[in-house]
Structure 1
Amino acid sequence: MPKPKIVDFENELAQILKYWAIHTLDKPYGGFFGKIDHNNHVYTKAPKGSVLNARILWSFSAAYNHNQNPEYLELAKRSFDYIRNYFIDGIYGGVFWTVDHLGLPLDAKKQVYALAFNIYGLTEYHRACGDVLALALAKELFLLIEKHSFDPEKGGYLEAFSRNWKEQADLRLSEKDFNEKKTMNTHLHILEAYTNLYRIWPDEILATQIHALIDNFLVHIINPKTNRLILFMDENWQPKSTIVSYGHDIEASWLLLEAAEVLGDEAKISSVKTVSVAMARAVASGLDADGSMYYEFEPDQKHLIKERHWWVQAEAMVGFLNAWQLTGEKVFFNQFTHVWNFTKQHIISTDKGEWVWGLNEDYTLMAGEDKAGLWKCPYHNSRAMLEVINRLKKGVLNH
């Protein structure tokens, strides 16, 4: 089994961002196209998603912070300008879920998940160029989340609101989600966003909320018996789902530790390390013999969904490498290597560019999925490349 080389990940990072730089710029209407299919056919009038644009902003900003390529900063600025001009709700605050191809509000609901991703992108952009407006917008979104979404009685954050921050019946991110008031996914990405905000704005209230978010995971969201995430909960933290999401489990295992380390709380770092490694051990049950990681398991139906999604492979690489750094156990490095080799062979689209959405159990391409779209983005895979590069340079950490 060939040992991964840092240069391989540097090259793949460049290839991912090259695709987005060449294929996704919407020159007639500004910003980036809302949808491109696997064959690189552009849907010029597709809706544009705030989450996709925030992820593009994060990706090019983070890449610029890595190697100071001026083209990356230019594309990050393109994304920032589009978000500022079209996605920010100038009347009620927050961000629209989608706008049309002209930039007019389409779905104006306030999905807290989307606000979190915009904080994530804005803060990384501020780290890249020091833009004071980007930081101001990130702080504004943080305050809106705390005002409208934070549950002062039970802790945690509520999912979604109408445009003017009133309760609404449908709280779901997508049709496959459960319609519950609290979800793992939104909490994970608020944590991710707040962690990045704290790097540039070490505010005491923000620190308190990051501490609380980590505790939410340790107490309510991670099942202590299985070391797996509970995906959906009611407002009282009562579990409403038994579905196992392998990609989210392994993603949370390293994002939780990142948050604790940014806070600098040694006691919390120690406790999270233990949980991170336990989650990585548990999630290994989702690995196939070919090195790939499956999508989900539904224990009630004993149904293993053997699709291999692009983002799950990306997060698996980082999570297993993180576990190797923490323990020095070769099994984790081997798991990372196997996932990377599978990704190179089956997920990276060498002929059409970028990564395919995923493969079915029989290795056929998952039909009808995007190359770029509301959910298909450069964030998971570019971030994985950056994380792997930095972690391989450090090797096993002396913790």
Structure 2
Amino acid sequence: MAIADWWAAHTVDHELGGFYGEIDAHNKPVKNASKGIILNARILWFFSEVAQEVDNPDYRAYATRAYDYVISNFFDSEHGGVYWELDAGAAPINTKKQVYAQAFTIYALCAYYQLTGNAQALAHALECFTLVEQHAIDREYEGYLEAFTRDWGLIEDLRLSDKDLNYPKSQNTHLHILEAYTTLYQVCPEPEVNAALKYNIEMFDKYMIDRTTHHLRMFMDLQWNDFSPGYTYGHDIEASWLIAKALESLGDDAYTAKLTPTLIRIAQVTVDEAIGAEGQVIDSYDFATGRTNVDAVWWVQAEALVGFLYAYTTSGDAQFYRAAQNVWQFIKAYQIDHQQGEWFWLSQLQNQNLDPYYKVGFWKCPYHNGRAMMEAMRYLQKMV
């Protein structure tokens, strides 16, 4: 698998352990770069998943390397949960408890448990699950809060990144709690996990899917008032198929039947509003300026491919299959780096200057594109 082989060949940090925190657009490691939990959890998830799909012992070894690094360095032995960021030598430099990070850790540990049967991995996943359920739920207005201090106290800066708005609830965090609990319920089908998974689906149903526009609300205050700055098409289409996968894991046929038309409608709105001239899915629409950002970003194309295949296999509507084909053609022509491997952050349709965009970093991991390839294979197999 080309993506897995690139990550195996270029990202292992033999000097300081684990994996490099950053690799530039020309495959050169940035050896003093910090190491974030999102990158490391997603590497753990990816190699755990691909090792289940491809019979290659190296992939299993890299999954174990990632597991050992996460458990040894990111877990907070005093207060529980995982730190946000370490320096290159694995000393904690940002100890906040971002709920998004706890979710990705659960997701990754469940995948490693599926690969290995390692009981410790599942135990750590359940520890993180318990902490999220204990500390992050808004008992008055429902939903999950964004972030906490190291000891799970209140924190002023709730943002995932500088580009995010500082609100206590976000679609993005809820979405990745959803995918974490989807997998956790598959490996641990206990009543409390079932209840938590259904609760999270209900949060999307009640508060985050705008039934007028069929876009997802992105940033909300405690009372769920919407402060989204615009539409983000990648999150819309990603949410459609991840909610569907959560419903499949939950196994509630009535709830699935109720929500499926809405999920297909989200995909339809993406087709209607977000397809670029070359078949790509564009980035976003800004309310304040009335302008559309036509950039084609790697993760958006990956999620669109899967989302359109989900919509096609569920609805039978051929427009979604054509949309998936067009996105795949765009990925092959403009998003994949055929000379140096992996995918470009920003497609070559718009960007010829690679230098500002890393191949590996805090937010660029093998998760979106690697997952898209595996999920696309699964959907395509259903069509045979």
Give the TM-score, by structure 1 length. 0.94
Aligned partners of 1:314 and 1:63: how far apart in 2?
16
Please state whether the residue corresponding to 1:228 is helix, strand or coil: coil
Residues 9-158 of structure 1: matches in 2 within 5 Å?
Answer: 14-158=1-145
Pick aligned residue for 2:297 from 306, 309, 312: 309
The 8 Å contact of residues 181 and 233 in structure 1, kept in 2 or not, is answered as yes
Aligned partners of 1:363 and 1:374: how far apart in 2?
21
Matched, 1:340 2:328: yes
Aligned partners of 1:362 and 1:132: how far apart in 2?
47
The 8 Å contact of residues 307 and 360 in structure 1, kept in 2 or not, is answered as no
Matched, 1:164 2:151: yes
Aligned partners of 2:314 and 2:172: how far apart in 1?
25
1:70 deviation in Å? 1.4
Aligned partners of 2:55 and 2:139: how far apart in 1?
42
Structure 1 gap ranges (5+):
1-13
Instruction: Give the structure 2 partner of residue 5 of structure 1.
Output: none
Pick aligned residue for 1:319 from 307, 324, 331: 307
Cα distance change on mapping 1:312 and 1:29 into 2, 3 Å: same
1:374 deviation in Å? 0.3
Amino acid at match of 1:254: W
The 8 Å contact of residues 110 and 125 in structure 2, kept in 1 or not, is answered as yes
Pick aligned residue for 2:343 from 352, 355, 364: 355
Pick aligned residue for 1:196 from 183, 206, 230: 183
Aligned partners of 2:220 and 2:304: how far apart in 1?
25
1:367 deviation in Å? 4.8
The 8 Å contact of residues 358 and 365 in structure 1, kept in 2 or not, is answered as no
Aligned partners of 2:295 and 2:354: how far apart in 1?
8
1:117 deviation in Å? 0.3
Task: Kindly report the root-mean-square deviation, in angstroms, between the aligned alpha carbons of the 2 structures.
Answer: 1.2
1:300 deviation in Å? 2.9
Structure 2 gap ranges (5+):
none
Pick aligned residue for 1:287 from 260, 275, 300: 275
Aligned partners of 1:367 and 1:301: how far apart in 2?
28
CA-to-aligned-CA distance 1:36-95 (integer Å, 9 cap, x gap): 010112111100010111000111111111123211111000000000000001111110
Aligned partners of 1:104 and 1:367: how far apart in 2?
28
Pick aligned residue for 2:372 from 359, 363, 384: 384
Please state whether the residue corresponding to 1:244 is helix, strand or coil: strand
Instruction: Give the structure 2 partner of residue 218 of structure 1.
Output: 205
Aligned partners of 2:31 and 2:229: how far apart in 1?
39
Amino acid at match of 1:208: A
The 8 Å contact of residues 59 and 382 in structure 1, kept in 2 or not, is answered as yes
The 8 Å contact of residues 305 and 372 in structure 2, kept in 1 or not, is answered as yes
Instruction: Give the structure 2 partner of residue 393 of structure 1.
Output: 381
Instruction: Give the structure 2 partner of residue 238 of structure 1.
Output: 225
Please state whether the residue corresponding to 1:37 is helix, strand or coil: coil
The 8 Å contact of residues 306 and 360 in structure 1, kept in 2 or not, is answered as no
Cα distance change on mapping 1:226 and 1:366 into 2, 3 Å: farther
1:364 deviation in Å? 3.3
1:366 deviation in Å? 6.0
Amino acid at match of 1:374: F
Cα distance change on mapping 1:150 and 1:191 into 2, 3 Å: same
The number of residue pairs the alignment matches comes to 383
1:32 deviation in Å? 0.2
Aligned partners of 2:157 and 2:368: how far apart in 1?
27
Instruction: Give the structure 2 partner of residue 205 of structure 1.
Output: 192
Matched, 1:329 2:317: yes
Amino acid at match of 1:232: F
Matched, 1:370 2:358: yes
Please state whether the residue corresponding to 1:223 is helix, strand or coil: coil
Identity among equivalent positions (%) equals 43
Please state whether the residue corresponding to 2:359 is helix, strand or coil: strand
1:318 deviation in Å? 0.2
The 8 Å contact of residues 285 and 291 in structure 2, kept in 1 or not, is answered as yes
